[in-house]
Homo-oligomer: A and B are copies of this chain.
Amino acid sequence: MTLALDAAAQDLLFREARTANTFSDEPVSDEQVQAIYDLVKFGPTAFNQQPLRIVLVRSEEGRARLVQHMADGNKAKTSGAPLVAILAADNEFHEELPSQLPHFPQAKDMFFSERPVREASATLNGALQAAYFIIGVRAAGLAAGPMTGYDAAGINKEFFGDGEHSVLAVVNIGKPGEDAWFPRSPRLAYDQVVTTV
């Protein structure tokens, strides 16, 4: 009643969507990923910065290069997912600000001339974009299995190598398989999270 979003969409994106640990063999197409991107690219960020970069791991060689850097507990599901996406922040995102923020191109030099400031901004806003992407995967009727258990330095070097990208998450994507998820864990109550001043 209180929400404008219809109940089916609420279920699809949040209430019935779960982090999948197993997947069916059904492939995930480039067209699906493009449709996800074309929706979630509109999610808001500071100064319209868009640090998120996505590496789709499709080849057997690419999969092997990734799996070696995953934590042991994540290797099997990363090996078995129809598609795996590496989500990373481009710490040099400011180079694109003048074209992406045409009414305020000075923002690039006014706010982002220092690398530590850029990295903090890329991490925060890249994480916002990663969350929008996860929601987008669910909007496509697919299950996402986001993971942060890996050797981050190893993935950064293996897949980017330029010292300018920082992995944020690795996401398994596909239709859920057998026994795809654990029972849902609890969530904090409203009063534990929200206060009023």
B3→A54 contact, CB < 8 A: no
- A interface residues, Cβ below 8 angstroms from B: 2-6, 8-10, 12-15, 17, 19, 30-44, 46, 48, 50, 52-59, 61-62, 65, 96, 99-103, 121, 123-124, 127-132, 134-135, 138-141, 144, 146-149, 159, 168, 182, 184-188, 190, 192-197
Give A36 Cβ to nearest chain B Cβ, in Å.
Answer: 8
Q: Name the one of B56, B99, B123, B187 contacting A195, with C-beta atoms under 8 angstroms.
A: B56
Could you say which residues of chain B place their CB within 8 Å of the CB of A190? 34, 37-38
Could you say which residues of chain B place their CB within 8 Å of the CB of A33? 194
Cα-based distance from A146 to B47 in the complex (angstroms)? 11
Cα-based distance from A44 to B187 in the complex (angstroms)? 11
Could you say which residues of chain B place their CB within 8 Å of the CB of A9? 5-6, 9, 139
Cα-based distance from A61 to B197 in the complex (angstroms)? 8
Could you say which residues of chain B place their CB within 8 Å of the CB of A55? 194-197
Nearest B residue to A184 by beta-carbon distance? B42
A193→B14 contact, CB < 8 A: no
Could you say which residues of chain B place their CB within 8 Å of the CB of A17? 42
Cα-based distance from A130 to B128 in the complex (angstroms)? 7
Given known A100-B185, A168-B124, A186-B102, contact A57–B5 (CB-CB < 8 A): no
Given known A5-B139, A130-B128, A140-B2, contact A56–B185 (CB-CB < 8 A): no
Give A131 Cβ to nearest chain B Cβ, in Å.
Answer: 3
B3→A185 contact, CB < 8 A: no
Q: Name the one of B50, B54, B192 contacting A194, with C-beta atoms under 8 angstroms.
A: B54
Given known A14-B39, A102-B185, contact A197–B6 (CB-CB < 8 A): no
